[in-house]
Structure 1
């Protein structure tokens, strides 16, 4: 990654010059892409994401938004504690680390923050992973079987072995393509010393997500034997490899 930073009176843009030698403020404005006929909206995440056709290829533009009760009074604003601690800069750099480790995550293209007094807003642009379904979509379509569950277990273990902690490991943040699985959305993620406590907490979060989406609704025993046990088996084997 070739980091470049452009600063102005309201904030800064951080981008990978190896992907795009120039990124300006319009890159983070959906309407600017719409005017060029280069915007395709797609649901997902808080408030959705925008699919944009950029000079660097098809990308995903995501605006950071809060969830839960705090969203009702903070909206999309975050407390300013320094540029390097913004949600966008932190995730951008974590994605760079993930890429350097050879792990399958989104490729970071650019990010920015805009500051206003004690608060800031933020955006992130990543390369779109083409022809992918989320694990949640695979489950809904009846495509999640023991083989895929094992692949998911191996995927999570690869990240855990490198100390990459995903803050919101759920079935919507696992992408499945014909030849690879990916983890996406590393907001609040970080690299940690590998430890069983946080690794198991990550796994249990994924399990709760699958159960919430109905993976065990028809037959709890079948979920355990056909999905969860294969996932954990492959996870443990990969983690200790």
Structure 2
């Protein structure tokens, strides 16, 4: 079980897993340090892979997107420690990991306050031996079996009320054994299960796949998308029947 512990720093605070066996310090979130002292590799966006004192991790620096990035690339409005992007994502990931959902377990998160703004970073466990669903699509390696695994995994998150703010093909990881994980829960939250947001998640994933050229994949809908939807709806139906108070 991940138990969050918070400690103050000179200009902010760090929340971390109390069971780490080590206490993270501010320099754990300095990508330049790992470039000099650890094995670092550039990742998608602001993510790099680092070797920390507690093992291999992914380090993400929070960056703004869209029009907001023109004002500031990585500063956010300060509204309190527990409302920072890093603390919220850490606590959400801890909750999901403690429910045995396939996420990258959080290691630590920090913010550094600068007056009315802050910057933030997140360390999660690195999930080795995976590639993104987007990479599988680019390689033409989509099939019904993989689709069913993806559909069932999304159903597990939805049944738990886990809403992903940007469910796309880059945020779904496929392991060597086709085990599925979901990453990047920035701005995500736990919501009461409702068809509207659940279907919105599914629609967002489809838009992502189509944008990446899924229609060029021979039989995409019949060989991948329809099996994904069938597995998703079947898993949701089974969980509804198994829920306390359900009637047959």
* TM over 0.5, shorter chain: yes
Residue 218 of structure 1, CA deviation: 5.5
Question: Separation in 1 of the partners of 2:232 and 2:20?
Answer: 33
When normalised by structure 2's length, the TM-score is 0.92
Aligned twin of 1:12: 13
Match of 2:80 among 77, 82, 88: 82
Q: Deviations over 1:84-126 (max 9, x none)?
A: 0100000000001101111000010000001111111100000
Q: Are residues 1:65 and 2:63 paired?
A: yes
The aligned residue for residue 114 of structure 1 is 112
State how many pairs are aligned. 236
Q: Once the two structures are superposed, what CA deviation does each residue of 1:151-206 show, in whole Å capped at 9, x if it has no partner?
A: 11111110000000000000000000023210000000000000000000000000
Alignment of 1:34 with 2:61, yes or no, is no
CA contact (8 A) 1:51 1:59 kept: yes
User: Following TM superposition, by how much is the alpha carbon of 1:224 offset from its aligned partner in structure 2, in angstroms?
Assistant: 1.7
Unaligned runs of 5+ in 2: 239-248
Tell me which stretches of 4 or more aligned residues in structure 1 moved more than 4 Å. Answer: none
Give 1:134's aligned residue. Answer: 132
1:43 deviation in Å?
A: 2.7
2:231 paired residue among 218, 231, 234: 234
TM-score (norm 1): 0.95
Mapped contact 1:108–1:127 kept (Cα < 8 A): yes
Structure 1 runs not aligned, ≥5 long: none
Which of 149, 153, 159 pairs up with 2:147?
149
CA contact (8 A) 2:9 2:26 kept: no
**Contact 2:140–2:217 (Cα < 8 Å) also in 1:** no
- 2:43·2:49 contact (CA, 8 Å) conserved in 1? no
Indicate the SS of the match to 1:159.
helix
Would the aligned equivalents of 1:13 and 1:112 in 2 still touch at CA under 8 Å?
A: yes
Q: CA RMSD in A?
A: 1.2
Moved more, 89-98 or 1-10: 1-10
Q: Distance in 1 between matches of 2:21 and 2:110?
A: 15
Moved more, 15-24 or 53-62: 15-24
Aligned partners of 1:20 and 1:55 also within 8 Å: no
